[in-house]
Structure 1
Amino acid sequence: MRENTAEESARLQSAAKDHLWLHFTQHGTYNDDVDIPMIVRGEGINLFDDRGKKYIDGLGGLFTSQVGHGRTELGQAAAEQAAKLEFMPLWSYAHPAAVQLAERIAGYAPGDLNRVFFTNSGSESVETAWKLAKKYFKLTGKPGKHKVISRSTAYHGTTHGALSITGIAGLKQDFEPLVPSTIQVSNTNAYRAKELTAGAIDVTDEQSLERFGLWAADQIALAIENAGPDTVAAVYLEPVQNAGGCFPPPPGYFQRVREICDQYDVLLVSDEVICAFGRLGEMFGATHFDYQPDIITTAKGITSGYSPLGAVIATDRIMEPFLTPGAMFGHGYTFGGHPVSAAVALKNLDIFEEENLLEHVRSNAQTFRSTLEKLLDLPIVGDVRGEGYFYGIELVKDRATKESFTAEESKTLLHGFISNKLFEEGLYCRADDRGDPVIQLSPPLIAGPADFAEIEQILRNVLSQASAKL
């Protein structure tokens, strides 16, 4: 396939700089001498820019591209649906694609998570779940329950409600005042367990890791008590916390959280915008870690990014009061459950089953881990952590003491060198400093050992150069 000519690329650059407002981007970075990276196509696990250069997609777009790029059958599913029924809102009416997809998602979901409310994105799913929790408790005679508990450094989205639940102060300050009634507790960063517990627990073995998990879970109970149990509606937790660098749950953590939620009649929301649809080797992260949520929020991998779609999956218990005559969840989106997006999602799930992608991830997950763990011989690499096809590599100034970089050092290291250098070397991933500096990896689920080895070699080359700069 022909890439853009030099003339076409120059025209696109000019138009992009004049008209396109990029997301989470410092636009001052791009000037007459610095071009905006222009990705024009994808194939498998690779991306190609307008000059024909190939990059490994080490982030799956944005934790999204499960089945890989260039799947023409997904485009065909979209075209066929658009020719048949291009749009119909789910406002008191239904259409077959949404019905079929809701049924299929309910079949994959654990327990009695049988009710599916469609959205367009992860942020919308998170926002919807909060409104659903508040309305549910109003209908069941507990109108004071409206507060939400989430974890430090956790990212849950950009809309005002979702951003309020997010535990990253730096992202929130520019948009305050936000929605009140959100509370943050400790995350499960086992690498920093000694700091989080004020020296009480230093994770050195499985037993101390479990103690840390129970300690972290009990912080939720303490927060509920402090806020007042009659005021807390929900706890939002990712199966593996993304921001901060992939924090898996310690053994017993989610089981203890489930007990706490049952004790205080608080809904457990499993935010699986990233972790659902194969990222951890199961359709849902809750299945992988063996816990039962009341609500699951999701998006991204449901269509592998081929069309926008999100979903909130709730238990029959949550739906029950809404079945009373006159009751209504007064909430919705024009494009939620869009026929084209639903058709794409159905075909995406067909690919999962036809190509046995879940088993592929489970079979290769340990190889991905062990390949990345080779980087631990570099002095700048403090920790490699994650699950399935979802990993974070924490960078440190001193591995022996786990000393991190200052904010200014992190900015210089990550954004001034590592991020650009990785892309230059052919790896698209994420260098993130929301918390301690990390490199995040989330390749398409079709990736295998040879791809892992290539990713590791690029990382090794760039991180070795970064180490030499310290």
Structure 2
Amino acid sequence: MGHGRADIAKAASEQIGTLAYASNWGAAHPPAIEAAALIAELAPGDLGTTFFVNSGSEAVETALKFARQYFRSQGQPERTKVISRSMAYHGTTMGALSITQLPKIKDPFGELLPGIRSVPNTLGFTGDCGPVTDLECFQAIERTILEEGPETVAAVFAEPVQNGRGALVAPDGYWPALRALCDKYGILLVSDEVICSFGRLGHFFGHGVTGVVPDMVTFAKGSTSGYAPLGGLIVREKLVRELFNSSKGGVFTHGATWGGHPVSTAVAVANISAMRDENVLGNVQENGPKLMKALNGLKNSHRCVKAVRGTGYFYAIELMADSFSGREFTEAESLKVLREVLPESFKRTKVILRGDDRGATMLMISPPLVADAEVLSELLHGVDGMLNDIEKAVQP
């Protein structure tokens, strides 16, 4: 939502002056109740119960714990295994890191949670690819479920648009087929929307892109637009009732001291309300396709661009040494681009993006949701300059 919004700052200030802190253990406070009600109103289907935490990693951790406790409450304690996609990033806490599929950030910590399986992501498949059930990136999921034993699998975690490996948009029909597959085997489908929710894709939630209602949704970043730390897990009402009514379940045994902090939830209400009332999602829906077209235009005019992927206001530019000859970066060239060329380009162009090396050398582009045509023009001018700098550095 951009920097310096007086309405959001006012909401934080007023909340500090009214109720600076109250725990959500055993009883909720007014701003948490208001935030949860607003989220339930905007969420698809019967996703109606929100458990607040402080960050995206904590939200994923909460989803893992809910899945485990839920199945234990239903007399299925053997359901502990989790499936996630190759190169996916889900967080830094031990559980979230366990289902993250990026060896570089996992290996330093040794053995993590057991029972985590990786399946292919959707790289190379987007749009109309024919029957999705014929694609290896989908078939591998069912094959893995059967190899592990469906009765041992608790959840499948996936992002509506996968961040790791560069804004991967799934092929048509992927998510409905994934929903049907999870239903077939009684597995919970968790949509990790820490990045994608609250406007990043032009919708409040990934449902606007995937067309399916998952069993759980994790969120964080966009819920407060960075004005205060907040994350959460939204759970389908059916699952909540089944847990609460079970003799082996009852209360979800989880919590955090600052989870659903009064100031953070007051900020979330102000932020999400403004997002809704000012038609911010409409801005993303209108300008997102134009941004994609412009980025593809840069691809056509720069030999260092291999691919452009994404949707809404969430994109990745995959880089290479020379698309004309097909030459990829050497390891040394990639390091030079990420650690030397791009930092200097950010300073020179006054446009700060993120360089990424998860599986490829990439530029990640996520403009503020309120960015209009003028701001996007400045952004594109900066990206053009960065690509020029990269070509000068690696091409003879």
Could you tell me the TM-score, scaled by structure 1's length?
Answer: 0.80
- Offset at residue 358 of structure 1 (A): 1.0
| 1:174 paired residue number | 108
| 1:406 paired residue number | 330
Cα deviation 1:333-366 (Å, max 9, x = unaligned):
0011111111111111121122111111111111
Give the whole-Å Cα distance in 1 for the aligned partners of 2:130 and 2:226. Answer: 36
Give the whole-Å Cα distance in 2 for the aligned partners of 1:286 and 1:337. Answer: 24
- Is residue 269 of structure 1 aligned with residue 205 of structure 2? no
| 1:292 paired residue number | 213
SS at 2:69's partner residue? Answer: helix
Cα deviation 1:15-58 (Å, max 9, x = unaligned):
xxxxxxxxxxxxxxxxxxxxxxxxxxxxxxxxxxxxxxxxxxxx
SS at 1:244's partner residue? Answer: coil
| 1:337 paired residue number | 260
| 1:423 paired residue number | 347
Contact 2:166 2:315 in 1 (8 A): yes
Contact 1:132 1:329 in 2 (8 A): yes
Give the whole-Å Cα distance in 1 for the aligned partners of 2:295 and 2:128. Answer: 25
**Unpaired segments of 5 or more residues in structure 2?**
none
Contact 1:371 1:452 in 2 (8 A): no
SS at 1:427's partner residue? Answer: coil
| 1:380 paired residue number | 304
Contact 1:147 1:181 in 2 (8 A): yes
- Is residue 105 of structure 1 aligned with residue 39 of structure 2? yes
SS at 2:225's partner residue? Answer: coil
| 1:249 paired residue number | 170
Distance 1:207 1:329, change over 3 A: closer
Structure 1 residue ranges, 4+ long, deviating more than 6 angstroms after superposition: none
- Offset at residue 392 of structure 1 (A): 0.3
Distance 1:269 1:307, change over 3 A: same
Matches within 5 A, 1:147-226: 147-190=81-124, 207-208=128-129, 211=132, 214-226=135-147
Give the counterpart letter for 1:235 in structure 2. Answer: V
Distance 1:156 1:396, change over 3 A: same
Distance 1:301 1:213, change over 3 A: farther
Give the whole-Å Cα distance in 2 for the aligned partners of 1:119 and 1:167. Answer: 23
- Offset at residue 270 of structure 1 (A): 0.3
Contact 2:165 2:360 in 1 (8 A): yes
CA RMSD of aligned residues (A): 1.7
Contact 1:213 1:250 in 2 (8 A): no
Give the whole-Å Cα distance in 2 for the aligned partners of 1:124 and 1:84. Answer: 27
| 2:70 paired residue number | 136
Cα deviation 1:167-210 (Å, max 9, x = unaligned):
110011111121222111111111xx6xxxxxxxxx8xx54366
Cα deviation 1:293-346 (Å, max 9, x = unaligned):
000000011011111111100001210133226722111000111111111111
Contact 1:385 1:392 in 2 (8 A): yes
- Is residue 239 of structure 1 aligned with residue 196 of structure 2? no
Give the whole-Å Cα distance in 1 for the aligned partners of 2:293 and 2:305. Answer: 14
Give the whole-Å Cα distance in 2 for the aligned partners of 1:211 and 1:422. Answer: 40
Cα deviation 1:78-121 (Å, max 9, x = unaligned):
11111111111111111111111111101111111011100100
| 1:346 paired residue number | 269
- Offset at residue 450 of structure 1 (A): 1.9
Give the whole-Å Cα distance in 2 for the aligned partners of 1:85 and 1:223. Answer: 49
- Is residue 437 of structure 1 aligned with residue 361 of structure 2? yes
| 1:123 paired residue number | 57
With 415-424 and 118-127 compared, the bigger mean Cα shift is at 415-424
| 1:328 paired residue number | 251
Contact 1:117 1:312 in 2 (8 A): yes
Pick one of 204, 208, 229 that aligns with 1:308: 229
**Unpaired segments of 5 or more residues in structure 1?**
1-66, 194-202
- Offset at residue 212 of structure 1 (A): 8.4
Give the whole-Å Cα distance in 1 for the aligned partners of 2:290 and 2:63. Answer: 36
Pick one of 364, 367, 387 that aligns with 1:463: 387
SS at 1:114's partner residue? Answer: strand
SS at 2:47's partner residue? Answer: coil
Matches within 5 A, 1:26-37: none
| 1:25 paired residue number | none
Give the whole-Å Cα distance in 2 for the aligned partners of 1:407 and 1:259. Answer: 41
Contact 1:214 1:252 in 2 (8 A): no
Give the whole-Å Cα distance in 2 for the aligned partners of 1:169 and 1:259. Answer: 30
Matches within 5 A, 1:54-133: 67-133=1-67
